Structure 1
Amino acid sequence: MRIPLGVRAHAGTSALLVVLTAVACLLVAGLPRTMQASFDDALRRSLTEAEAVRTDLTVAGDPALPAGELHSRAEFESGDLHWRRLIPAALRPLIGPGGHLSAKTYRTPAGGTSGIRTFVNLGWLSDAARRVDWVRGRAPGEPSTMRYRGATIPVIEVGVVEEAVARMGLRVGQTRMLGESVHTAAKIVGVFRAKDPADRSWSHDADVLHVTRVVPTDGPEELHTTTLMSDDGLSALTNKARTLTYRWVLPLDGRAASALEVPDVEAAVAEFQRQVDVQGTGTTGYRMVTGLPQLLAGFLAVLSAAQTVMYLVLGGLFAVALGVIALAGRLLTDRMERTLALARARGAALWQVVAAGAALTALTVGPAALAGYALSFLLPGPVLPIVHLGPAVVVVIAVASAVVRLVLAHRTPLRERRADLVTVRPSARRVTVEALVVVLASAGAYLLRARGPSGTAQQDPFLLLIPVALTLAAALITLRCYPYPLRLLVRLAARGRAAVPFLGLTRAARERSVGALPVLILLPALSLSVFAAVVHDGITTTQRLASWQKVGAPIKLTSVANIPPDAIERVRRTPGVEKVALALTGRVQIGATGEWPYAVAVDLAQWRRVNEDAPISLPALSGGTSALVSPALGSRGAFEIRWLSPVRLTAQGVIDAVPGFYSSGQFLLVPQEVLPWPAANTLLIKGDIPPAELARLVPSATVETQEAALAAIRADPLTGTVRTTMVVVMVALGAYALVAIVLSLAAGADGRARAVSLLRTLGLSDRQARRLTLLELLPVVLVTAPVGMALGMGLPAALGPGVDMSAFAGGLPVADHTPGLLAPVALAAGLGLCAVFGAYVHTAMSRRRNLDAALRVGDP
């Protein structure tokens, strides 16, 4: 048999198989690449947006003896080279050039103050020259000495930040005595400010850039600041008071991170920490300080949830695509059946017939697979093994299905067979296997709900297999139950006087074996498509709810100090502002226990009017002295708080969160009436006004909006990838379902056309012919579509406890899986329209058949 001649003879079917194969290979090779690229983007974003103090690797050294002290920049730089040599190979690409070296004292008391205790720490930064500007005085120089209490002590020239001048009374020319038992003099010679306060490296040195206020539970208020000295000042910096710490900061370059390498990076960080721990000597102890392991562990937990959902839907999409390709390959082999049967009858061996059909299939799908594979390289992302393996699997499955089909069809020459029997008794073994699949799927779904999340960041095979088992069980049940309603319909149609319903349903019953593969394709396609739509809608709804929970109002204006009444009135009169609710937040003390929870005093009635269209509900308080407390405060009766004035409250109940304010820890919500006078540091606003305008009206305030919070949640790369993948899979699976309907139409086209032509000789009209064809196709759609949609709507509920989708919804659990009507109705309408359109097209094509020829070749 000539293979190119076979391709030419079946050009239409071959072209369809080429398109399906190319699209499938593009999806299976391209979607994982884009998915992995989004994983990498999410990791890089999380590392670059996190504070440098959490991502960088910091080696801290505490000198215990004078022999371990460092007194020059060269000694620090030598230590930096030493630590870099110890970095494991897997971690080296992520460590950026340069570095940040520092030496600081901590809790160094300064004399000459009363009331508020002040602590002026001595500090040295290796890169201070590029990070600060000297706005008053001069940069520090060399140290000197002076006599103090009969002893010679060092005098170190230092500079202080502008904030320390204003809050701690430090000024240029002032000399402060530091220490208690061991004294050092600090001479202030200059005042500095940061060149770029937003520079990430300042997170390591926030004590240098800002004054820290500490309120101990058993002492007066404390103010801490860290000064800057020159390289020469290191020669006089000692650890006699045991308050000195050295730090070598190895900066992490998050732009070079890859999600695939996270496990190796975690292991490398643990190994580097072990190396640092064993470097300690009797003179200096070393430890590593970093939040990188916690960041990576959190990312892996989110990544695991994203991978589980996307592998599930992409795996289902791949399986459906393979099924459609197998159905198209079956159509091609059916078109070749007469030719191959004739060759078999004339003496061709089975292997020759099978080789001819397999070669024709391979010649059709091979170039198409290469084309789809090549097109996948136009998409961004790393080249994963599935990129190479996926197209090869498509070709192997397509050729293997053709081989199996040909072997079964041509085992013996001119073998007579009946494929249109209404009932075929299944074997006991097959019934047992199918029942076992159904029982295991049901038990697995129950165990998944009972177990909940796996609690690990690794992929959960159990979670990936249960949806497949449920889909297979639903398909088997559908195939087993499919004949019973069909028989009932045939019997009802037989009692009627019209012949078309009886003939159409009878043909549907006799072609049931041909419709088994379309059912196996349609059911997972519809179920996964509806599943993707339901999860997408659930994430979208929860994201909106999370944005409202975060802000608490359409617009929230928060000030560090009380907002003056005239400023509040200006906000009320501003065009675009519709309603304003006042709130006051702060820490209060509970008199009986001494606890210091956070409190929110708000006008609840006005707040409800501000949020009248919001998806969140606000709590209710029954009286002016009632309060709602957080679970951390526990249940209690009457208690007294000290805020602006002592107030006695009665706990009305427990509240999990106050939207826009607090969701964890100790907090309480009270009505605004408990305040002795009107006060507010937060405004909850409804209206259409630019945030910049509100910030201009209250300069000391920050402005948050619900729309901005929602945009920030949706801007996360992983969140965007999950939502986009759901949409792509939903559309692709819907398209494959329609293709399956078309292929099932084409598979029985010849027999259906012959039957219609014979019936036309008996007076069948075109309208009746269309009804006959439609009745033959509708049972597959009407039985499979409801089952597939019901399974798709039930999968989120079945998988819900096992998949934590909160990372993609602003931290809230995605519990609302109520599907919208648009996607299911669109899918059902598409399938129905496809069936109707196929009936019209088939009837139009049947008109071309010669009725005389139909009579001559018709069955007797």
Structure 2
Amino acid sequence: MTVRSPERRVAAPWVRTRLRTAPGAAAALALLVAVTAFLAAALPLVTDRYGDAGLRRALETAGPDRTTVRLFAPPDGFVVESGWQGTDGRGWDGPEASLRPDAMRDSYAAVLASAGRSLPLDPGQSTHGVRTTGKLTVPDPWLSRPDDLPPRFSLVAQHGLADHARLRAGRLPEARGTVTATTRTVEAAVSSETARKLNIGVGSVLHVPGTGRAPLAVRVTGIVDPRAPRGAYWSTDPLLRTPGLVTVPGDPERSRYWIGALLLAPGAAPAMLGTPGGPERYWQLAPSVSALRGHDLPRLTSVVASLVSGPLLRQARTATSPDTEADTSLDDVLADHARLRSAIGPLVSVAVFGTGTVAAAVLLVAGGLAADRRRAELALLRARGGSLRGLAGRLLAETAVVAVPAAALGLAAARLAVREARPSHAVAAAAAVALLACVALPLRAVAAHRAVRVRTAREDVASVRPSRRRTVAELTLFVLAVGAVVALRTRGVSDGPEEAGAPGTSGDQLVSLAPVLVGVIAALVLVRLYPLPLRGLARPAGRLRGVVGPLALARAGRASGSAVLPLLALLTALTTAAFGGSVLSGVADARDRAAVLAVGADARVASLRALPSDLADRVRRVPGVREVTPVGITYFAQPQDGQMTVQMAGVDPAGYAALSRHTDIGPFGPDALRASGDSGTGPLPALASPAVADHYGTRPFAVRLDDGSFVTVRIALVRERTPALGDQDFLVVDRSGLPAHAARPTSLLVTGAHPDGAALREAAGGGAQVRVRAEEFAGHVDSPLQSGAERVYAAAVAAGAGYAVLALLLTLLRAAPERAALLARLRTMGLTRAQGRRLLVLESLPQALLAAIGGTLTAWATIRLLSPGVDLTTVALSVSSSPAGRAVLRTDPVSLLVPALAVVAVTVGIAVAQAWWTGRRGSVRELRAGDAR
């Protein structure tokens, strides 16, 4: 008779029994895994979303004229040097046939099919057609002539005009019969702006010059409005919808003339062969912005390069003409976006790696806590013959039943919260969380119960001696971490990624792992050093008169010796929080500095002409305005030698000096700039830029003002910048010494707490420009990559702080039953409630202080390590060349100290709360619970 294995018969009941026995622990584990899986899965989804949005914003900002790929080729057999004859001897037949709609439609379909397989295209905005490459002068006298110069036009026969335009007047042009190079009359439409600005109406006839023939008469049959004027159909060549004024090159009088476009029917394209415009065929491929994905950036860059000069261009030449060429600025747009992405990626990864390390440490601490809680049970199973494999299998099944569904729930919640992103990375992140949660308890149990023990020896931090294996493992990890940090420091952290748009190079990963590496070093060192002061203080503390101090010190020494993971979690969380706070603070400071330098004050009201005399009083009454400093600016002041042109500002020395101190832009003492009492007898003291000071020195020199008058100045101060004039070559003088015309204020520099921009504009009226510091500050974020990176960074730091608190709670929870029983016993021996609270607080303080001081030092070291090579300019500002210069990482005292103090406060709060709760429950109950344990 076959007997079933006992292990197989009880495997499922074991899992059910354990879940029913400890439903609270199972629910807590499920909640922890679900939240962690949600955060882990949401991170790549959110990163993908803001990466996609950043790429789309980059293309939208660049505009279709830069992002559309244009293919162009001359008509088949068309050679200008041969007297406008086809090279095949058939006269015009070859070129005309290649320009007709059927031939263009077939070639466009082939180009669209080959390119669309690699680059997402928008068929609705992509198009094709024929146009003249040169602008043709139309001499009709009734057309608008700004400087008595005739306008010039391009002839454009673009496919799809009926689908992309609304007819405002007349009808769309048609090609009647078979149009050839000798056709005398064709029909055309114009945009409403072209019609309005060039005085064109329905029925107007424009005479375009011909080549070896009479002028081509172009009759305007319709006026159209674009349906989507900013779309690629109309904006790849903006001349189709909006005419432009062009200045004649080299003309000293800067005469101007209009240029515009006449929209012919596609069938009328052969008529362009009879003009000197040099017709060409073109195919416009507009990318589908909504279909582009940020993670495809390297592939998109490769595809665009292939379209411009690669295999895709060869395929296009096969479908169109051997002479086809391509032109686009899309590759430059993608390269600029890749540089922004590669600069932002490593900084965000610092927070992601730090928070991920903290979360992983918390999961491992939770598994270790569960193993310690069930130490007696698992030891009994091993003593009764249970195998390590069987024990690990049961614990793995028990944990997987809870962790896997919880991780799946977290993944589903993340997918519901963040749609339209790649699911693969989210699934991998959630699976990693589930795997770590499943193996934490079995691995800890296997490590603790490798040998069968009946009695467990003390494992407190003050008495335990680490094993040789642990020492070797810690030394190995320590050496690897130190080596990585040294390599990072010697290599420099500013090395960019080797591949544009791919922030996953080894250098970037090393930068991102720096806080974790420093945290590992600090945790290993602190755990080794922590017992030394406890052992040293144990004997002197025994001679103290009170009982609470020596007992608390002894209790601190009895803490668990396996404190590396909780300490690592706390140190990494504190380091990440301090680093993240310093990054966010540095970004805010850089933006604020750039805004101050751009405005020169908290707000500026400026005009090229003198402002009304009562405007300063009106501005002072605006909410938020504290002080108004009038400044008269001469924009083209010229020193007498005529070698340079400078800007001169006439100011009130006292008010302007106060403004300079407030903005920290070239501060100075007002006495050095104040004019003497006899203003007409001596030179005016001046504050100058370095270039002006180097050129003129300290000798007096005359300066010619805009109105032709002269003033004599002498340079008394030199500053790199000044609030009124920025970083141009400048002179600043006391306006009381200037002529009345130059002394009139043209700008008002406003200081105050958040001046109201709308109220300032209302007070200034329409004749002055108003710039507000707060608006300039907000304007430095122009890409979703920047704003998304900031939000991800803030969320990662907040999540890391939450996990740090949870690690602290788990660490204290491990000793909570023993502490409760101890307090109950001591209460029966006469310990008061106040003494009990002090005992728990003093017992918890050494570990809390260890984490707080270690975290502060670790964060400071990490910031000092990374700051020389971390450039925050790309994250902070909308342009790479900022007037504020390079934004670097600096230590933020608030971010450094507040998290550390929070750790101490949470520890003390938990100790006080536990003492209060234990006092409420009563000593008898706690004694029984302690005895049971």
TM-score in terms of structure 1 length: 0.82
Match in the other structure for 2:434? 395
Which has the larger displacement, 670-679 or 781-790? 670-679
Is structure 2 residue 284 aligned with structure 1 residue 249? Answer: yes
Note if contact 2:823-2:836 (Cα within 8 Å) is conserved in structure 1: yes
2:327 maps to 1:289: yes
Post-superposition Cα deviations, 1:290-326, rounded to whole Å, max 9, x if no partner, equal 2211222222222233332333322322221222122
Are the structure 2 counterparts of residues 619 and 176 from structure 1 closer, same or farther at C-alpha, using a change threshold of 3 Å?
Answer: farther
Paired residue for 1:836, among 889, 909, 916? 909
Counterpart position of 2:533: 485
Shift in Å at residue 260 of structure 1? 1.7
| Residues 475 and 542 of structure 1, relative CA distance in 2, 3 Å threshold | same
Kindly indicate whether residue 774 of structure 2 is the aligned counterpart of residue 707 of structure 1.
yes
Which segment drifts farther, 172-181 or 28-37? 172-181
Secondary structure of 1:248's partner? Answer: strand
- Please give the secondary structure, in 2, of the residue aligned with 1:122: strand
Letter in 1 for 2:414: S
Q: What does residue 146 of structure 1 align with? A: none
1:237 equivalenced with 2:310 (yes/no): no
Instruction: Report the secondary structure of 1:821's partner residue.
Output: helix
Q: Following the alignment from structure 2 to structure 1, what is the Cα–Cα distance between the partners of residues 256 and 744?
A: 27
Which residue of 280, 295, 300 corresponds with 1:265? 300
Q: Find the aligned partners of 1:108 and 1:676 in 2 and give their Cα distance.
A: 52
Q: Map 1:391-540; keep pairs closer than 5 Å.
A: 391-416=430-455, 417-420=457-460, 422-424=463-465, 427=468, 429-430=472-473, 432-449=475-492, 452-454=495-497, 457=500, 458-459=502-503, 460-540=508-588
Q: 1:414 to 1:187 in 2, by over 3 A?
A: closer
Q: In structure 2, what is the equivalent of residue 361 of structure 1?
A: 399
1:579 aligns to 2:589 (yes or no): no
Paired residues for 1:327-338 under 5 Å: 327-338=365-376
Residues 453-852 of structure 1: pairs in structure 2 closer than 5 A:
453-454=496-497, 457=500, 458-459=502-503, 460-556=508-604, 562-563=608-609, 565=610, 573=618, 576=622, 579=628, 581=630, 600-603=647-650, 608=656, 615=663, 617-618=665-666, 628=689, 644=706, 668-671=729-732, 678=742, 683-684=747-748, 686=750, 688=755, 691=758, 694=761, 699=766, 703-714=770-781, 716-810=783-877, 811=879, 812=882, 813-815=886-888, 817-819=890-892, 821=894, 824-825=897-898, 828-829=901-902, 831-842=904-915, 844-845=917-918, 848-850=922-924
Query: Aligned-pair distance for 1:709?
Result: 3.0
Judging changes above 3 Å, is the alpha-carbon distance between structure 1 residues 763 and 634 closer, same or farther for their aligned structure 2 residues?
same
Provide the rounded CA distance (Å) in 2 between the counterparts of 1:452 and 1:475: 28
Q: Which one of 214, 236, 242 corresponds to residue 204 of structure 1?
A: 236
Q: Which of 231, 243, 260 is the equivalent residue of 1:227?
A: 260
> Residue 91 of structure 2 corresponds to which residue in structure 1?
none
How many angstroms apart in 1 are the aligned matches of 2:759 and 2:113? Answer: 50
- Is the Cα–Cα contact under 8 Å of residues 133 and 195 in structure 1 kept in the other structure? yes
The one-letter amino acid paired with 2:866 is L
Q: Residues 533 and 183 from structure 1, CA distance in 2 versus in 1: closer, same or farther, beyond 3 angstroms?
A: farther
Range with greater deviation from structure 2 (279-288 or 828-837) = 279-288
The answer as to whether partners of 1:558 and 1:681 remain within 8 angstroms in 2 is no
Structure 1 residue 702, shift from structure 2 partner = 5.7
User: Over residues 206-247 of structure 1, what are the superposed CA-to-partner deviations in whole Å (9 max), with x where a residue is unaligned?
Assistant: 456243344746866353432333426644424875755554
Question: Alpha-carbon deviation of 1:53?
Answer: 0.7
- Which range is displaced more, 621-630 or 99-108? 621-630
What secondary structure does 1:227 align onto?
strand
Q: Post-superposition shift, 1:158? A: 7.9
Which of 333-342 and 227-236 deviates more?
227-236
Contact persistence 1:345–1:413 (CA under 8 A): yes
Does 462-471 or 56-65 show the bigger shift?
A: 56-65
Taking only aligned residues, the RMSD between alpha carbons, in angstroms, comes to 5.0
- Partners of 1:204 and 1:643 lie apart in 2 by 45
Q: Is the 8 A contact 1:550 1:660 kept in 2?
A: no
CA distance in 2, matches of 1:333, 1:552: 63
Which of 80, 91, 96 is equivalent to 2:108?
Answer: 80
Q: Is the 8 A contact 1:158 1:190 kept in 2?
A: yes
Cα deviation digits, residues 144-179 of structure 1 (max 9, x gap): xxxxxxxx9978888889999999999998978869
Amino acid at match of 1:474: A
Asked if 2 retains the 8 angstrom alpha-carbon contact of 1:571 and 1:694, the reply is no
Residue 6 (structure 1) aligned with residue 18 (structure 2): yes
Code of the aligned partner of 1:833:
V
Alpha-carbon distance, 1:683 to partner: 4.2
Deviation of the 1:535 alpha carbon: 1.6
Shift of 1:343: 2.6
**Whole-Å separation in 2 of the counterparts to 1:805 and 1:246:** 47
How far is the alpha carbon of 1:359 from its aligned partner?
3.1
- For the residue of structure 1 that corresponds to 2:261, the secondary structure is coil
Provide the C-alpha distance between the structure 1 equivalents of 2:321 and 2:639, rounded to a whole number of angstroms.
48
Deviates more, 1:687-696 or 1:519-528: 687-696
Letter in 1 for 2:423: L
> Equivalents in 1 of 2:857, 2:213: separation in Å?
78
Find the counterpart in structure 2 of residue 147 from structure 1: none
Q: Percent identity?
A: 22
| Equivalent residue runs for 1:339-358 within 5 Å | 339-358=377-396
**Are the equivalent residues in 2 in contact too, given 1:182–1:241 (CA < 8 A)?**
no
> Quick check: 1:103–1:244 contact (8 Å CA) kept in 2?
yes
Structure 2 residue corresponding to 1:44, chosen from 40, 56, 60: 56
Which 10-residue stretch deviates more, 831-840 or 688-697?
A: 688-697
Query: Equivalences for 1:374-389 in 2 at 5 Å?
Result: 374-381=412-419, 382-389=421-428
Distance in 2 (alpha carbons) for counterparts of 1:551 and 1:180: 57
Structure 2 residue ranges without an equivalent (≥5): 1-9, 87-94, 177-181, 674-683
Residue 304, structure 1, aligned to residue 304, structure 2? no
